[in-house]
Amino acid sequence: MTAGLLLAGALAAPTAKEVRATDEALVACGTRHTLLRGDAARGIECGREVIRARFAAAAARDASARVLVDRFEASSPRTHDAKVPLENVYMILEGNDPALKGSAVIVSGHYDSMGTDIMDPQLDAPGADDDGSGTTVVIAAAGALSGRPHRATIVLAALAGEEQGLLGGKRLLEWAKEQGYAVGALLNNDIVGATNGASDARVRVFCTGDAGSPSRQLGLRLEEMLGRDRVRLVFRDDRFGRGGDHLPFLAEKLPAVRFTEPREDYRHQHQTPRVEGEVEYGDLPKFMDFAFLARVAAGNAEAAWHLANAPAPPGAGTAEGAVKPDTTVTFEAGEDPERTGFEILFRDTTEPRWTVARTVPAPGTYVLAGTRIDDVALAVRSVGRNGERSIAVALEPVVRKPAGGPPPAK
């Protein structure tokens, strides 16, 4: 683990008792179906008020914090193709560095739920795990991060309309653009509340299979920060046939990942509570593992804080070395006075994780003697005075055409 030297051990971890209380408050709404409105005790507005109250309590401890209900309209086949009112709820912790506060680290989860028939908003849909658990992570992270210093802005986002077609996630991306935020990272939490007897009880982190993608680099950085004993990387966008609110961000090639429990029990997702034969269906608190949920919440808070205190990442870069025994690396970077330098990284093409090849003081051009570009992939990342590292930026291999000479030998 490479926690920042200045930041190590400074966040208070949420407890199983605390996350249980939040999750059960959401479950007490009976259903949080997006289309059930007008009842403060049952439906989506009940869930919204639970979240807003807990955000307000956390925000009271941080002068930089503000709570925002982002009202919008959207439609999909699951809204009968009619525009419906929706509300995301955000707690925004503004960064304290003028150069970096325009970059946002986002922790998200959706607070709507659904029963067996998504088109019937009247059904009971307690949604303890899907996705009361992810919303609970967002609220717990808000409490842990409130009052703590960070360079970039942190946004805690509880999203509506996920079950209707990722409507809240699409709006979150749109809202971030409207605010002028560059998305430094999105940590989406969806179904993170149980282990269901899994022998490997690490939370899964879905980070897209493209080896050079920002999502993959974010996943690898999370593994470095939190430890391989706490997260299990899955190099895919999401589960087969399923999707979450990180997907609109992946579509724009932004650093976004999904946290999901190690083994799902489909009897306790998208099911109206009932008993059939000897099988009990329903997404209820009694099927949750609140100690596990507290660990996931702690990991999200930790990761968000370290990412928000990391130096500005480098910009675009290239690696060139066709028909040469050495590789030439060139990269750019904006100014960051809290950055001490950069790490040039390499890996064998069959190895997913990076190794530091060389530390350099400034952006520019460097020759890696004896490194043959045919055999490796390369990246670069920033290093801060506080010991934090940015997410790695993959270097694009290029082939220079010889000036006036023959093409490279076959």
Q: In terms of residue numbers, what domain contains 363? A: 317-398
CA 101/CA 95 separation, integer angstroms: 4
Tell me the CATH number at 358.
2.60.40.10
SS3 25: helix
For 39, 144, 215, 245, 252, the CA distances from 137, given in Å and listed in that order, are 25, 10, 20, 15, 25
Q: Do residues 42 and 191 share a domain?
A: yes
How many distinct structural domains can be found in the chain?
Answer: 2
Residue 280 pairs in a beta bridge with 275
In this structure, are 264 and 325 located in the same domain?
Answer: no
CB 333, CB 363: distance < 8 Å: yes
Whether residue 45 is contained in a domain is answered as yes
How confident is the model at residue 400, as a pLDDT?
79
Residue 275 and residue 144 share a domain: yes
Say if 405 falls within a structural domain.
no
| Tens of each residue's pLDDT in the chain, 410 residues | 344 444 445 788 999 999 999 999 999 999 999 999 999 999 999 999 999 999 999 999 999 999 999 999 999 999 999 999 999 999 999 999 999 999 999 999 999 999 999 999 999 999 999 999 999 999 999 999 999 999 999 999 999 999 999 999 999 999 999 999 999 999 999 999 999 999 999 999 999 989 999 999 999 999 999 999 999 999 999 999 999 999 999 999 999 999 999 999 999 999 999 999 999 999 999 999 999 999 999 999 999 999 999 999 999 999 999 999 999 999 999 999 999 999 999 999 999 999 999 999 999 999 999 999 999 999 999 999 999 999 999 999 998 776 665 666 66
What does the alpha-carbon distance between residue 160 and residue 144 come to, in Å, rounded to a whole number? 23
- Reference 156, options 105, 204, 120, 222; nearest CA is 105
CB 328 within 8 A of CB 317: no
Q: What is the CATH number of the domain that holds 200?
A: 3.40.630.10
CA angle 189–206–346, rounded 5-degree value: 130
Indicate if 297 and 345 belong to the same structural domain: no
Residues 162 and 125: their CA atoms lie apart, in Å, by 14
Burial class (CB in 10 A: 0-12, 13-18, 19+), 407: exposed
Residue whose tokens read 């049952």 = 42
Determine the angle formed by the axes of helices 132-145 and 44-59, rounding to 10 degrees: 20
Residues 387 and 298 both lie in one domain = no
pLDDT attached to residue 409: 60
d(CA 360, CA 64): 35
From 255, 288, 308, the end of a domain falls on 308
Based on the fold, state whether residues 60 and 184 are members of the same structural domain.
yes
Let me know whether 112 and 192 are in one domain. yes
Residues 175 and 229 in one domain: yes
117 and 252 fall within a common domain: yes
Q: What is the pLDDT of residue 406?
A: 61
In three-state secondary structure terms, 273 is coil
Angle at 308 between CA 306 and CA 312, to 5 degrees: 105
* pTM of the full structure: 0.95
> Are residues 282 and 350 both part of a single domain?
no
Phi-psi label, residue 387: left if phi above 0, alpha if psi -120 to 50, beta otherwise? left
6, part of any domain: no
Peptide bond into 117 cis (omega under 30): no
**Does residue 11 lie within any of the structural domains?**
no
- Asked if 33 and 71 sit in the same domain, the reply is yes
In a domain, residue 125? The reply is yes
10 belongs to a structural domain: no
Burial pattern 322-339, b for ≥16 Cβ within 10 A else e, equals eeeeebbbbbebeebebb
